[in-house]
Amino acid sequence: MRVLLTGSAGFIGSHIADALEASGHDVLPLDLATPADGGGGMPGDVRDAATVARALQGVDAVCHQAAMVGLGVDVYDLPGYASVNVLGTSVLLAEMARVGVRKLVLASSMVVYGEGTYECAVHGSVRPRPRAESALASGVFEPACPRCAQLLSPRTIDEDAPADPRNVYADTKLAQEHLATSWARMTGGSVLALRYHNVYGPRMPRDTPYAGVAALFRSALLRGEAPKVFEDGLQRRDFIHVRDVARANVLALEHPSHAPFAAYNIASGRPRTIGDLAEALSTACDGPRPVVTGAYRLGDVRHIVASPRRAAADLGFSAEIGFEDGMAEFAAVTA
């Protein structure tokens, strides 16, 4: 299969390129980064229709990873996220329709869910509202039931949960899913949206405000500093190694799906806390113990733990790299 891979020079995209080539596929990389910048293949912007049209010639499928990532720093990030993630995807989809490419694997994210699923002792399964700053400031970090205000217990979320994006990045990832669904219905195409959970591993960006928490903790340890853990460190996440994510993309591209749209949680199914992550990296780096600060960021979600059962059943995907082994490898990478 000949695959156009957008965002091919990025953290996840570069691993997908490796996995596709190892599986015998012909990869056409497309990225803003030029070969001189450490990229590869065709330098180009998915927002440029002429570039995208040229890249799509002779292609069987598209694996769309190009995006502005992270949760955003402030309101001035809004145009950048909308331009790269929404406009870029719109241009790509339009040119796919024009050229006749009908299969898309889309990099989506767990952030489309907002908070995960919770259980109230009185009212059963509920989705909480965004946490109030007054509660966070007083050290109450667990979400409250929107009906009775009792603190909630986290549960596992699946792909049928309603979307509830709570930051600009999440808004644009959900917009990508909606645009791709409309494209599929209008063209007879097929979209598999892979909702990545907390991805980590080699080549992860560092020393940037848009980096993931694993990269931020590792950067602190490489400077000889203790990782600073927000809230009480008990926030639950699902950490998945980037090579597992790359393998999921290969399986999705090879899957003979003809449904207009299907979403899959790409997760390990073995949740950990942010405190667990900090402790594992401190141990692997032989560095200072984490410091739990009690600080918080408005808009952060408390818990988001997913079920990967649908990806296992439909795609044959399950994570293979364990948390301890993956974190040890990640800690050993200094560049």
Chain-centre distance of CA 36, in angstroms? 27
| Pair (229, 242) in one structural domain | yes
pTM (predicted TM-score) = 0.93
Return the structure tokens found at 292.
Answer: 């739990």
What range does the domain containing 132 cover?
Answer: 117-156
The CATH number covering residue 23 comes to 3.40.50.720
By the 8 A CB rule, do 238 and 306 touch? Answer: yes
| Pair (227, 269) in one structural domain | yes
Q: Specify the 3-state DSSP secondary structure of 242.
A: helix
Domain boundary among 104, 134, 156: 156
Could you say which DSSP state residue 161 is in? S
* Residue 198, C-beta contacts closer than 8 angstroms, at least 6 positions apart: 110, 212, 213, 214, 237, 238, 239, 240
Q: How far apart are CA 115 and CA 156, in angstroms?
A: 11
Return the structure tokens found at 255.
Answer: 């899957």
| Pair (121, 97) in one structural domain | no
| Pair (101, 223) in one structural domain | yes
Q: How far apart are CA 168 and CA 7, in angstroms?
A: 20
Q: How many CB atoms lie within 10 A of CB 160?
A: 7
pLDDT at 71: 63
Domain boundary among 101, 127, 156: 156
Could you say which DSSP state residue 208 is in? S
| Pair (147, 234) in one structural domain | no
| Pair (68, 176) in one structural domain | yes
For 126, list phi and psi in degrees, rounded to 5.
Answer: -140, 160
By the 8 A CB rule, do 95 and 49 touch? Answer: yes
| Pair (130, 268) in one structural domain | no
Domain boundary among 156, 181, 205: 156
Q: Specify the 3-state DSSP secondary structure of 169.
A: helix
Q: How far apart are CA 203 and CA 18, in angstroms?
A: 13
Q: How far apart are CA 198 and CA 42, in angstroms?
A: 28
Q: How far apart are CA 181 and CA 262, in angstroms?
A: 9
Total number of domains constituting the chain: 2
Find residue 262's DSSP bridge partners: 192
| Pair (121, 266) in one structural domain | no
| Pair (32, 146) in one structural domain | no
pLDDT at 335: 47
| Pair (124, 269) in one structural domain | no
| Pair (134, 245) in one structural domain | no
| Pair (292, 262) in one structural domain | yes
Q: Can you list the residues of the chain whose pLDDT is less than 50? A: 36-39, 210, 335
Q: Distance between terminal CA atoms of the chain?
A: 32
